[in-house]
Structure formats: structure tokens, C-alpha cells
Structure 1
Amino acid sequence: MADENEEEKKPGIVGKIVKLLTRLVMAAVLLGAGFAGGWFYFANPMSPAQSALSLLAPEPVDETAEGEGEGEGDGEPARIPREMPETPLFVTSYYQMDEALTTNLHNSRQYLQIGVGMSTQYGEQVTANVETHKVAIRSDILGVMSNFTEEQVAGADGRTELASAIKDTVNHRLEQLEGFGGVEDVFFTSFVLQ
């Protein structure tokens, strides 16, 4: 009696094959749906940059065709295509120092605290170099800051001069250590004079 119950509970070879075929069909359906979704999502043959440029520059209008769409025949002015700039556009990478830099100013009891950010269009290698040598760069920036007086940094021109001096110092340090500077601009993310 126990043997009959066990035989009824165990599926036969046909049941196993049906179960296996069902699983294979389900896997094929899911795989096909995944491929179809991927093809639909990635079917655009243009890169994102080409898509953006095609939005900026409309397609040229055939001015020889008369009476079709927009043109002089309709009393509307003809579309003039925009010219694309000859100079290539570069990607700007930014790097921001983690902590604000604080030092006293030259011949003053005032302190200057700044947050420093830098930009480059020479790629991620420059920002990686700044990150690698940030201890030396922080020290150099503090030295530059302490050479400025309170009157020099109080105005916009003084801040521009300080940013330029920091940029030159950072590039000099990177040239010594890596053979290439690459920092093109310095920004103050915070500027506190106390």
C-alpha cells in the first residue's frame, strides 16, 4: 500500500519531459522578450552626440523644389540652415577639493577660508593627477593664499588674481610631478574673509 502511494506521488517520465519543455519554452520567451526590448531601446544608429547635433542643425532645404512645403512660393521665407561651428567642442571636467583651505593673510590678523574647484578640458587624467597629489597641491595653495593681503582679496579683481595665482601654482606642481599641468581654470566654491 505504501508502495502504491509513492508511485502515485512520483511523476512519470512523461510528466518530467513536459515540465522540462515548459521551462525551456518559458526561458526562450523571456530571452526573446529581452532581446526585443534591447533592440527597441538601442535601435537608434546615431550616437547621443550625433542626435544632439541633428537637433541643433536642421536638415538643408532643397530650394530648387517649388511649391512644396515652406518656401518662397507660399509667401513665407525659405529656411536657412545653421552653420555648425568649425571648432570642436570639448568636455570640461571639474574637480573640487574635499575640504576648505584656511590661512592667515599677509601682514594681517584676518583669515581667509576658500573652497577650491578646478576645471580642465584635457580629460579625466588631469583630475586624477590632482587627486593623486592633493597633499602637495593643498600646501602650495596655502602658500599662495598667505602671500595675499586683505586689501588684495577684498575686491573682485583680487579674487581673480588669487584664482590665477592658484592655477599657475597647481599647474607648476603637476608639471614637476607628472610632466603636464592641464588645469585651465580655478573657481571658489566658498570665500570667507574673517
Structure 2
Amino acid sequence: MSDANTDAPKKKGKILKIILLVLGFLLFLGGGFAGGFYYAGTQISPSEEVLRLVERTNGDAAPEGGEAGAEGEPTVDENGNPIKMVKDIPETPVFQTSYYEFPDTLTTNLRGSRRFLQVGIGMSTQYDAKVIANVETHAMAIRSDFLAVISGFSEEDVAGMEGRDRLAEAMKAAVNKRLEQLEGFGGIENVFFPSFVLQ
């Protein structure tokens, strides 16, 4: 019976130690969270810090302390966080590209082959609309030139992407040559194949 009485205080002591350890751990953890929350509330985020440094190196932002920028607007808010400055984007001239696609496909035999090529042809220019108008005016002559160019290529010549690019370059040279003869100026910058069928 005396053994049972001595074991009870030992068990109570162990339970008390465990409770104190858990409470101490929770207190330590809560203090860490409170300290981190306080520290995070007074600091700016890394992205805001990078923005502040970039603006400072570019000379766009005033030093900290709420001083005004070049136009008299503050560069830092009441919490010391930098205010994002919106800059005007300079306008650069953008050239408009005009496209023209022949309404019908061209079909012709390839050199040294029984197979024939059927292609849809489009072209583009960044010059004014007069170039496209010239193509439309002389469409019959340009189509004839295209047939001559295509029939000069063999099946192996037009195979793959490189072959198509060579064919497009040859056709671009042909259309510009025709336009220079008839109008004094070519102006076609690219030739495209919306359809390309080898049969």
C-alpha cells in the first residue's frame, strides 16, 4: 500500500513536467509568431525593395522620408512604401503590313517529274496600298511569271521547309521584277503559301 502512495506523487510530477514543457513550447512559439508579425509589418517586401532600388538608381525616386518627386508628387506613402510611378511609353512608328492573296490556286508540273504542285499564293508589303493595287492590276502577268518559276523547280527542290523558302524567294524576285518593269517599283517583301499540295 505504501508503494501505491509513493507512485502517485511521481506520476503527478511527470504529468506536471509534461504540461509545463507543452505550455513553455506554446509560449515560445507564440512569441516567435508575434515577433515575426511585428517585424514583417515594419519591413517592405523584397519586390517593393527591388522596385525602390531600381527607381533610386534611375533617378526617378526621391530619397526615403516622403520627399516629393520631380513633379511635386510624393514618391513614398505614409507607411514608407514606395509609390509606383507610371511612365509614358514613347511611341515608335509601327509600319502596317498589307497582305494580298490570289483568289485561285496555281497548278503546274514540276521539272523532271510526273507530279504537279498546287499552291495558294499570298504576299505582303509594308509600303502603301499602291503596291497591292499594282499586283491586282497586273495579276495575269504575275501569275504567268509564277508558273514559269514553279515549273523550274524539281520535286527535290521544293521538299521541306528550306525548299519552300527558296521557292518563295524566287517568286518574290519574279513579282518584284515584273512590277519594276511595269510600274517602276516592286515593293513585295514576302511571298507565302496558304496551301501547298504536291500530287
TM-score range, shorter chain: 0.5 to 0.7
Report runs of 4+ in structure 1 exceeding 6 Å deviation. none
Separation in 2, partners of 1:143, 1:84: 47
Give the structure 1 partner of residue 84 of structure 2: 78
* Structure 2 residue 118 is matched with structure 1 residue 118: no
Give the structure 2 partner of residue 52 of structure 1: none
Give the structure 2 partner of residue 148 of structure 1: 153
Q: 1:72 to 1:95 in 2, by over 3 A?
A: same
- Could you tell me which runs of 5 or more consecutive residues in structure 2 were left unpaired when the two chains were aligned: 1-59, 62-67
2:87 counterpart letter in structure 1: P
The normalised TM-score by structure 2 is: 0.60
- Could you tell me which runs of 5 or more consecutive residues in structure 1 were left unpaired when the two chains were aligned: 1-59
Give the structure 2 partner of residue 107 of structure 1: 112
Give the structure 2 partner of residue 163 of structure 1: 168
Deviations 1:32-63 (A, max 9, x none): xxxxxxxxxxxxxxxxxxxxxxxxxxxx9983
Larger Rg: 2
Give the structure 1 partner of residue 188 of structure 2: 183
1:167 counterpart letter in structure 2: K
Deviations 1:106-144 (A, max 9, x none): 111111110001111111111111111111000000111
Separation in 2, partners of 1:158, 1:85: 39
Separation in 2, partners of 1:66, 1:123: 45
Identity %: 54
Q: Secondary structure of the equivalent of 1:150?
A: coil
Separation in 1, partners of 2:115, 2:83: 64
2:111 counterpart letter in structure 1: H
Deviations 1:2-53 (A, max 9, x none): xxxxxxxxxxxxxxxxxxxxxxxxxxxxxxxxxxxxxxxxxxxxxxxxxxxx
Question: What is the CA RMSD across the aligned residues, in angstroms?
Answer: 2.2
- Residues matched between the structures, number: 131
Q: 1:193 to 1:63 in 2, by over 3 A?
A: farther
Separation in 2, partners of 1:150, 1:178: 34
Separation in 2, partners of 1:77, 1:144: 62
Q: Secondary structure of the equivalent of 2:158?
A: helix
Q: Which runs of structure 2 are paired with 1:3-152 in the superposition (5 Å)?
A: 63-64=69-70, 65-67=72-74, 71-73=75-77, 74-76=80-82, 78-79=84-85, 81=87, 83-84=89-90, 86=92, 88-152=93-157
Separation in 1, partners of 2:76, 2:164: 55
The normalised TM-score by structure 1 is: 0.62
Give the structure 1 partner of residue 23 of structure 2: none
Separation in 2, partners of 1:128, 1:110: 34
Q: 1:172 to 1:81 in 2, by over 3 A?
A: same
